[in-house]
Amino acid sequence: MLEMVDKEYIRKKHFVEGWSIRKISRNLKVARQTIRKALNDSHIPHYQLTKEKPSPVLDPYKEI
């Protein structure tokens, strides 16, 4: 799995320096499909809570 640093490196080499997908794939030893996915995925991942975490110790005092 690629980290955000790797994705930024791939995007820089492709869009700024003009490297081909094949050249990036050879240098990083990563599949071309993975390179294409990194190029298409431009958003920064954000963490979202699915449900609120319980706090049994502080619950009685939250209103204060």
Instruction: Answer whether 0.85 is exceeded by the pTM.
Output: no
Residue by residue, what is the 3-state secondary structure of 38-50?
Answer: HHHCCCCCCCCCC
- 3-state SS assignment for residue 12: helix
Higher pLDDT, 20 or 48: 20
**Chain centre distance of CA 1:** 9
Tokens describing residue 62: 């939250």
pLDDT tens for 40-64 read 987 777 788 888 888 888 888 877 7
Q: How many CA atoms lie within 13 A of 16 on its CB side?
A: 6
Q: Where are the domains of the chain?
A: 4-40
- 3-state SS assignment for residue 54: coil
Helix (H) or strand (E) holding 47: none
